[in-house]
Amino acid sequence: MKAVVPALTGILFLSAIHISQAADSDAVIVTASRHAETVDETLAAVTVVTRQDIERLQATTVPELLASLPGIDFGIGGGYGKDSGLYLRGNNSNHLLVLIDGMQIGSVTLGSVSLQYLPLAAIERIEIVRGPRSSLYGEDAIAGVIQIFTRQATGQTQWSADIGNGSFGTRAINAGYSAQRGDLRYHLQAGYLTSDGINAMQTNNPDQDGYDNLSLNAAVDGRLTHQLSYDIRLLRASGRNDYDGWMTSSLYHNTFLQQAAGIRLNYLPTAAQQIALALNQSRDDSEDFTDGASIGTINSTRNTALLSDSYSLGDNTLLDSGLELQREAVDSTNNYTSTSRNNTAAYIQGRHTTGPHDVQLGLRYDDNEAFGGHTTGNLGYGVELGSMRLTANYGQAYKAPSFNDLYWPGAGNPDLRPETSKQYELGLRGKFATETWQFNLYHNSVSDLIAWAPTFADPNVWLPSNINNATLDGGELAVNGTLLAIRHALSLSVVDPKDDATDKTLIYRATQTARLDLDKAIGQTTLGMTVSAQSRRFADAANTSDIPGYATVKLRGNYQLNPYWQLFGHVDNLFDRNYQTKPGYNSPGMALFAGIRYQEGG
């Protein structure tokens, strides 16, 4: 593994010098600053994954699609549907804010998001913003923000469908329809994914741990007047997930529901101003079963109202501001000592451009009834240097204690403070002809991390406590383009995530990851390959036990039968590597999947 990363580093730098055609750097992104800007214009470190990328790469799940992209590392506990912790830039998996069409999702009890349940067939694009964004979005955005945009109507009548079958009893079927009637546009998408699965744990019941996911995506948008428009969104995924529990002789499974729904009104009083009101609700429900008998439910709900304003002060200055009200609640068979909390917030961010210089300044104040007020800020600077752009950023962020941390019956600590961070970042991006590349270095200090510790009153009683600090230093390099008519995307990430007290590497993080995607069109056929490599990761806090590094290869191809029909297929883990990303949990061996896709219109 030590030889793999330097070799790929060399490939990346040579690619940046010699390759002549690249990915679209003019793609529009809205997550980094809450208003539309191109990838070239943003001051943040960003990655955009489009619908075309999703179909070309032939991923089956969101973790599979995002794994080893710049700054991204997953720890997955088994096959389809199993827990998938995302360590963005080496941060804890619950230090990531995930949005669906602007709606925050995730469990309020765990404080994290089950990305493995989100249906790829319903997703139009994914925007990944690396670095703190609490000054815009509040809690959770220590590591960054991932925003998922669902598929919606395009203004033309469209039919789409696909069906596929593969190894481990994996089957998928999806269908969608879009149309427009006058000013009303709508889109409906339904999907079903099922798999017999693999044995999730090495030392547990040697059964297959299956997975079923039924999803629905609906979108409606229209115009009420020349100045007033609206859009309505719903994404719902529900199903069953088998897993291995603590008793080897028992069978465990859970039923789950992930849902995000909202309505947004957009008002344009003048050409220079846009005012929006969004009312959103997200749900994360789960019920666990042992040998068919229910052992408990945990249902969490997040209701949000956001009033935002974007105003242009001339051609060079943009001002964004907003007021947000949020209520989080839990309904569970566990007797939480508190079952709801409210958060009120206000934010403002300004950006000014003078010649080649850009300056961005943001500030947000949150008032949470669980732990009081908290202020976060960010400062960004960018300057054009010929064909390159240099950026510098400083950002503050925080993570609110979860309901489990604060209120778990008999083991919660209501005196917890939020986890906080300060991050400094330098970035350089550029073009060679139409080739694009970006390089980022960052230093992140995270304080008051929550961990279990004995109490002062009674050393035999352990509670969640603010006892840990961590420092995360790292860098990312990404290059996109085409060489000899072969499209490629290459990325390399290096992170040194240390516990400040022990100087040991944080557990479950791969300190080096690399990924190479290659695609070549030959007539009606497109062939592709993905190579992913990760270094070892430690399985314990003392760094005495490690999980070996690994590399996997995926082959894919599709054939365009005619303008409407396409055959596709892929082989995952081509060389049948036996590897782990979490200690004791298996990963799938070599797997085949093939299907047919239909699309009409558009």
* pLDDT at residue 46, as a whole number: 95
d(CA 602, CA 598): 12
Residue 22 — pLDDT band, cuts 50, 70, 90? very low
pLDDT tens digit sequence for 134-185: 999 999 999 999 999 999 988 889 999 999 999 999 999 999 999 999 999 9
pLDDT tens digit sequence for 254-285: 999 999 999 999 999 999 999 999 999 999 99
CA-based torsion, 592, 556, 480, 103: positive or negative: negative
- Does pLDDT of 445 surpass 60? yes
Backbone angles phi, psi at 55, to 5 degrees: -70, -35
Most confident region among 14-23, 71-80, 387-396 by mean pLDDT: 387-396
More confident residue, 410 or 22: 410
Instruction: Calculate mean pLDDT across residues 367-373.
Output: 91
Q: Please, what is the average pLDDT of the chain? A: 92
Residue 21 — pLDDT band, cuts 50, 70, 90? very low
- Does pLDDT of 11 surpass 90? no
Residue 24 — pLDDT band, cuts 50, 70, 90? low
Nearest to 132 by CA among 503, 472, 390: 472
Residue 248 — pLDDT band, cuts 50, 70, 90? confident
* pLDDT at residue 536, as a whole number: 96
Domains recognised in the chain with CATH numbers: 4-600 (2.40.170.20)
Cβ neighbours of residue 155 closer than 8 Å, sequence gap 6 or more: 180, 185
Query: Are residues 474 and 498 in contact, defined by beta-carbon separation less than 8 angstroms?
Result: no
Instruction: Calculate mean pLDDT across residues 411-419.
Output: 93
Backbone angles phi, psi at 517, to 5 degrees: -110, 130
Cβ neighbours of residue 315 closer than 8 Å, sequence gap 6 or more: none
Nearest to 118 by CA among 145, 100, 137: 100
* pLDDT at residue 77, as a whole number: 87
Query: Are residues 587 and 142 in contact, defined by beta-carbon separation less than 8 angstroms?
Result: no
Tokens encoding 547: 């999980």
d(CA 225, CA 219): 19
Residue with tokens 């992209």: 69
Burial tier of 399 (Cβ tally within 10 Å: 0-12, 13-18, 19+): buried
* pLDDT at residue 20, as a whole number: 32
Q: What is the pTM of this model?
A: 0.93
Residue 205 — pLDDT band, cuts 50, 70, 90? confident
Burial tier of 348 (Cβ tally within 10 Å: 0-12, 13-18, 19+): middle
d(CA 350, CA 34): 11
Other residues' Cβ atoms within 10 Å of the Cβ of residue 419: 27
DSSP string spanning 276-345?
Answer: EEEEEEEEEEEEEEETTEEEEEEEEEEEEEEEEEEEE-SSSEEEEEEEEEEEEEEEESS--S--EEEEEE
d(CA 138, CA 362): 12
Query: Are residues 142 and 446 in contact, defined by beta-carbon separation less than 8 angstroms?
Result: yes
More confident residue, 483 or 448: 448
Query: Are residues 463 and 412 in contact, defined by beta-carbon separation less than 8 angstroms?
Result: yes
* pLDDT at residue 6, as a whole number: 43
- Does pLDDT of 220 surpass 60? yes
Which range among 204-208, 216-220, 358-362 shows the weakest confidence by mean pLDDT? 204-208
d(CA 549, CA 553): 14
* pLDDT at residue 595, as a whole number: 98
90: left (phi over 0), alpha (psi -120 to 50) or beta: left
Residue with tokens 């961010």: 349
More confident residue, 20 or 134: 134
pLDDT tens digit sequence for 501-544: 999 999 999 999 999 999 999 999 999 999 999 999 999 999 99
* pLDDT at residue 168, as a whole number: 96
DSSP bridge pairs for 125: 50, 149
Residue 26 — pLDDT band, cuts 50, 70, 90? low
Cβ neighbours of residue 137 closer than 8 Å, sequence gap 6 or more: 97, 99, 104, 145
Tokens encoding 285: 């429900």
Percent of the chain with pLDDT over 90: 84
CA 401 to chain centre: 20
Per residue, what are the HEC states of 50-77?
A: EHHHHHHHCCCCHHHHHCCCCCCCEEEC
- Does pLDDT of 28 surpass 90? no
Query: Are residues 135 and 376 in contact, defined by beta-carbon separation less than 8 angstroms?
Result: yes
